[in-house]
A and B are shown apart, each in its own frame.
Chain A
Amino acid sequence: MTRMFGQPIPRVEDDRMVRGHGGYLDDLGHDALACAFVRSPHAHAEIVDIDVTGALDVDGLVAIYTYEDLPDRLADPLPLLIPHPALTEGRTQYALARERVNHVGEPVVMVVAQDRYVAEDAAERILVSYRSLPAVVGIEAARAATQLVHPDVPGNIAANMLQTVGDVDAALAAAPHILELDLSIERSASTPMEGRGVLARWDPESHRLRLWSSTQTSTGVRAAVASKLGLALVDVDVITPDVGGGFGVKIMHPWPEEVLVPWAARQLGRPVKFVEDRREHFISSAHERAQLHHVRVGFDRDGVILGLDVRFWHDHGAYIPYGIIVPMITSTQLLGPYKPGAYRVEFDSLYTNTLIVTPYRGAGRPQGVFVMERTMDAIAATLDLDRTVVRERNFIQPDEMPYDHGLLFQDDRPLIYDSGDYPTLLDKLKKLVGWDEFEAFREAARAEGRRVGIGLGCYVEGTGVGPYEGAHVVVEPSGKVKVATGLTTQGQGHQTVFAQIVADELGVPLSDIEVVTGDTRRFGYAVGTFASRAAVMSGSAIALAARAARAKALKVAADALEANPDDLDIVDGIVRVAGVPGAEISLGTLAVLANPLRYAFDDAAKAATQFAVGDTSKPPVGEDDEPGIEGRDYFSPMQSTFASGMHAVVVETDPDTAEIKILRYCVVHDCGPLINPRIVEGQIHGGVAQGVGGALYERMAYDEAGQLQNASFMDFLMPYVSEVPERIEIDHLETPSPLNPLGIKGAGEAGVIPGAAAFASAIEDAEGITITAMPISPSELFELRRRHEERSSP
């Protein structure tokens, strides 16, 4: 049997998806009531009055709820999911606004009606009067703190965190060169094609709740909803249907709607569904990325960094339910493949009257990498060195692995890189993009009046963060293998890669394996899908569970075939004794034999009744044994495993219109051994597309009043396929991780991480103008050029 691990097989889920046979949240619950929300039109205001009378005679209206209607636990603020000692002023929102609203889009009134049309008609007739307050918008305003988002949070500062390694002040004082840089990144967002959605059915007879949510964590939603509704965990099922993308935003939970919908379903005794529309997604889900950084770096005459001092400010919006994960990641992952000498990093996480911030693919890394790579380019410019040379001189070397940075990572565990080979990656990248030949290309282009530039960005990404995942593998009497893991799937191709792992471990054909994810009925212990962790965490757990099932199968087979388990092998679902032709038994038969039965309900079962099998001198199921061919296991590593990569981009900027065109985009990538190269490349393609968006197109255009001016796909410029390079050139390096049974590292977020850094580098190279802020539009490039000319012509 060929090993399935490493095969670029097509995804088993594609046929269903491409034919339109996927089942997404809104494909479910056609009998359900719909809801709509009256959302705050103000960024900051007191609620004076809510008058629902105008809505009461709308035909088809079922219920209207405000904060006053919520029972005890639901009336408390929503949970602060990830507490941290540095997060001293954590504030979270109420499921429905109580007295105040803190961002445009905050839910104030919930309307339940026979369908969404009617719900919106009623919502439109509800009059909420507000006394508006001055809004805090943007990092500058938050820092100035002349207005406060929460009156009891001084300085708008939710958290301040500082980490240091070595004596930075001494290192900078002694450094032959010092540079200071101010660098900023604007807001963007995950913007999955399918927004949020939740459907709840309450069974009044059994007092059980069944909930479907378009989420990245069904077990997290279950725990949160059970807690808010005062239900036992076993009385709540959470099922994740097909999910039309997540990219991070759907790891946030519980959303207000996620607790209100099941509560309303219980109140009303009828199924209730909420399906978010696009405008709601823009103003009431979550954003990410906005940060401002001040860097002081000291380096020697060769460009080797001696000390790095980074102070930054993170805009987390009106509330901070997901804690300070994003700035913590920036502050640690900023270091990338480099040794910073002495390092100090300090950030403030600031309240503003804008939408909340939770991790979006890359989660703080695109900002960190932008800061570090801009710094590398600035050092190269100062010393007139090639940009790759400065990077090489600062790399952690392969023989220094594992490399301990002396910092704490996002999971509060030491930041120790497990493996990686950065010099080889850079060599591969230089070859792939033709770095050393670029000057000739630039000259040729210049002769035609064209302006081109090349840039690069390097990153290291902690993937496969804990605490754990688990898996269950069971062989059915039919010989089919059913696999369940608790984390969810939102398009990554888990059904395929997890089946590839099981196929090898258990010796069964891929077509006999079925994988279920994100269904608490099948597997109740799980964390969720984020931080490029699914393959590492569930993949490893599945491998371990499959090994346990295999061991059980071989034990039963050894008995049945009267052979030594060491002489057995499983190929194509059949256990054979080495060297004894004909001595074989199928996994399905073993599953029957392993389950001694009293009742013969079909022919297969007849073979396993207590009269047919077993040694009457022993109990039918041995003392240390269990019925069935099953394996259940968990994987919980000491720490994250660190993937890495480098991107290079070649751009052309139009000397007249300032339009920015991508000529080439090259990626070298190391996520350890590839389970399925085709899927990894797909992940990279999608990530690069989002990187292009973040670098050249996307921003959240808030005005001073806190109104999001581009809350639609007409004005929020997510790139079309026509804006993404037609060909993304990819090369892999496969450095195994010592931290898990498969040696793998995560690949989900990688593609997006160095986008802004690489584009800034390339545009700067083409233009000869320093780039300190991303994203950049043609209009902004035009203004930069104009200011540059004004400065250079006195």
Chain B
Amino acid sequence: MKPPPFGYSRPESVADALATLARLGPDGKVLAGGQSLLPILSMRLAAPHHLVDINRLSELGYVRVEGGDVRVGALARHAQVLADLPARAAQPLLGKALRLVAHATIRNRGTTVGSIVHADPSGEMTAVLALLGGTVRVATTAGERDVPARDFFVGPLESAVQPGELAVSATFPVLPPRAGTAFVEVARRNGDYAVCGVGALVELDADGAVSSARTAYLSVSPTPLVLDLTDAIGSEPDFAAAAVAAREQVEPEPDIHASADYRRHLAGVLTERALREAHAEALERSGRD
């Protein structure tokens, strides 16, 4: 479990990093927190020619609330985002999901943007980005582009970031008024990737009726799955009906930890739990509890 030989650069600025990545093209690979990349290297599942270590790019180590978004720089660690009170106040789902990402030691190094670029369909932050309809800002020496979540996740462990590109930040829209969120999951052990997980965003209209109910799923699809359950839940909120609708739409695979049926069952149970919790929060935030 030792990586094969690789080249290594540690640029001191974003401009430097972009120039290095442009020069390396398909041979370059970004190293952020290393919490996913290093195990892959050590198990020799990948053999990139050259690592570009972005840990000196302190200019990307920010978490900001700007306009209608929380913007997270590429060097902001999970722990830093989790500890950022203004960001969590603006979008409470960030904190609810980040608590469930791995363990404290891994959150201290792993970056939120890195976990999104890594595009693991079991990653909490991929689901959060997809559910909230966030974006990822990707840069090259030629300029920057913003990629919306729905275009960002291409396949399991495959994102829209191309060789030579650096993801510099991700944005998460702030919570609208009269809305509530929840994130629930079942993991085999505390901090493990979830067997199934559900994030929920419920919005109410001025009369307190559900105007939008959306959910996002972990570990039941190749890319983050987002469902619009607004019709299923109805204005009355029928959480059980929403759970049935969710169960019918997920297509989980079995693995050594869980059967496909169990995952499907969990998708239903957790949908109901997440929607109830998000709905209760939305009511509370509308002053209607």
Please say whether chains A and B are actual partners in one complex.
yes
Residue ranges of A at the interface with B (Cβ–Cβ < 8 Å):
116-117, 120-121, 124, 277-279, 656-659, 697, 701, 709-710, 715, 717, 719-720, 722-723, 777-779, 782-783, 786
Asked if A783 and B190 make an inter-chain contact with CB atoms under 8 angstroms apart, the answer reads: no
B interface residues, how many (CB within 8 angstroms): 25
The CA-CA distance from A711 to B36 in the complex, in Å, is: 17
Asked if B4 and A777 make an inter-chain contact with CB atoms under 8 angstroms apart, the answer reads: no
Cβ contacts A to B, 26 pairs, < 8 Å: A121-B4, A279-B1, A657-B186, A657-B266, A657-B269, A657-B270, A659-B186, A697-B189, A709-B256, A715-B256, A717-B188, A717-B189, A717-B192, A717-B257, A719-B189, A722-B189, A722-B191, A723-B190, A777-B258, A778-B188, A779-B257, A779-B262, A782-B259, A782-B262, A782-B265, A783-B259
- 3 A-B pairs closest in CB distance: A722-B190, A779-B258, A779-B262
CB distance from B243 to the nearest CB of A (A): 10
The CA-CA distance from A279 to B266 in the complex, in Å, is: 31
CB distance from A668 to the nearest CB of B (A): 28
Asked whether A710 and B256 contact (CB < 8 A) given A116-B2, A277-B1, A779-B262, the answer is yes
The CA-CA distance from A710 to B189 in the complex, in Å, is: 15
Asked if B1 and A124 make an inter-chain contact with CB atoms under 8 angstroms apart, the answer reads: no
Contacts of A719 in B (CB 8 A): 189
CB distance from B125 to the nearest CB of A (A): 18
B 230-246 to A, binary, CB cutoff 8 A, 1 in contact else 0: 00000000000000000
The CA-CA distance from A786 to B44 in the complex, in Å, is: 41
B 101-113 to A, binary, CB cutoff 8 A, 1 in contact else 0: 0010000000000
Asked if B2 and A701 make an inter-chain contact with CB atoms under 8 angstroms apart, the answer reads: no
The answer to whether B195 has its CB under 8 Å from any CB of chain A is: yes
Asked if B191 and A779 make an inter-chain contact with CB atoms under 8 angstroms apart, the answer reads: no
Asked if A124 and B4 make an inter-chain contact with CB atoms under 8 angstroms apart, the answer reads: yes
The answer to whether B5 has its CB under 8 Å from any CB of chain A is: yes
Asked if B259 and A779 make an inter-chain contact with CB atoms under 8 angstroms apart, the answer reads: yes
Contacts of B43 in A (CB 8 A): 279
The answer to whether B261 has its CB under 8 Å from any CB of chain A is: yes
Contacts of B44 in A (CB 8 A): 120, 124
The CA-CA distance from A794 to B32 in the complex, in Å, is: 57
The CA-CA distance from A709 to B254 in the complex, in Å, is: 13
Residue of A nearest to B103 (CB): A720
Contacts of B195 in A (CB 8 A): 778-779
CB distance from B256 to the nearest CB of A (A): 4
The CA-CA distance from A124 to B3 in the complex, in Å, is: 11
Contacts of A715 in B (CB 8 A): 256-257
Tell me the B139-158 residues at the A interface (CB within 8 Å). Answer: none
Tell me the B233-289 residues at the A interface (CB within 8 Å). Answer: 256-259, 261-262, 265-266, 269-270
Residue of A nearest to B47 (CB): A124
The CA-CA distance from A719 to B190 in the complex, in Å, is: 9
Contacts of A116 in B (CB 8 A): 2
The CA-CA distance from A779 to B269 in the complex, in Å, is: 14
The CA-CA distance from A715 to B187 in the complex, in Å, is: 12
CB distance from B121 to the nearest CB of A (A): 16
Contacts of A117 in B (CB 8 A): 2-3, 5
Contacts of B189 in A (CB 8 A): 697, 717, 719-720, 722-723
Which of B3, B189, B269 has its CB near the most chain A CB atoms (within 10 A)? B189
Contacts of A657 in B (CB 8 A): 186, 266, 269-270
Contacts of B259 in A (CB 8 A): 779, 782-783
The CA-CA distance from A658 to B2 in the complex, in Å, is: 39
Which of A656, A720, A779, A783 has its CB near the most chain B CB atoms (within 10 A)? A779
Contacts of A124 in B (CB 8 A): 4, 44
Asked if B188 and A777 make an inter-chain contact with CB atoms under 8 angstroms apart, the answer reads: yes
CB distance from B45 to the nearest CB of A (A): 11
CB distance from B47 to the nearest CB of A (A): 9
Asked if B186 and A778 make an inter-chain contact with CB atoms under 8 angstroms apart, the answer reads: yes
Asked if B1 and A720 make an inter-chain contact with CB atoms under 8 angstroms apart, the answer reads: no
The CA-CA distance from A620 to B183 in the complex, in Å, is: 84
Contacts of A722 in B (CB 8 A): 189-191
Contacts of B3 in A (CB 8 A): 117
Residue of B2, B257, B261 near A777 (CB, 8 A) is B257
Residue of A nearest to B3 (CB): A117
Asked whether A656 and B188 contact (CB < 8 A) given A710-B256, A779-B262, A783-B259, the answer is no
B 185-216 to A, binary, CB cutoff 8 A, 1 in contact else 0: 01011111001000000000000000000000
Contacts of A278 in B (CB 8 A): 1
Contacts of B256 in A (CB 8 A): 701, 709-710, 715
Asked whether A121 and B269 contact (CB < 8 A) given A722-B189, A723-B189, the answer is no
CB distance from B42 to the nearest CB of A (A): 9
CB distance from B3 to the nearest CB of A (A): 8
The CA-CA distance from A701 to B257 in the complex, in Å, is: 10
The CA-CA distance from A777 to B265 in the complex, in Å, is: 15
Asked if B261 and A783 make an inter-chain contact with CB atoms under 8 angstroms apart, the answer reads: yes
The CA-CA distance from A277 to B192 in the complex, in Å, is: 22
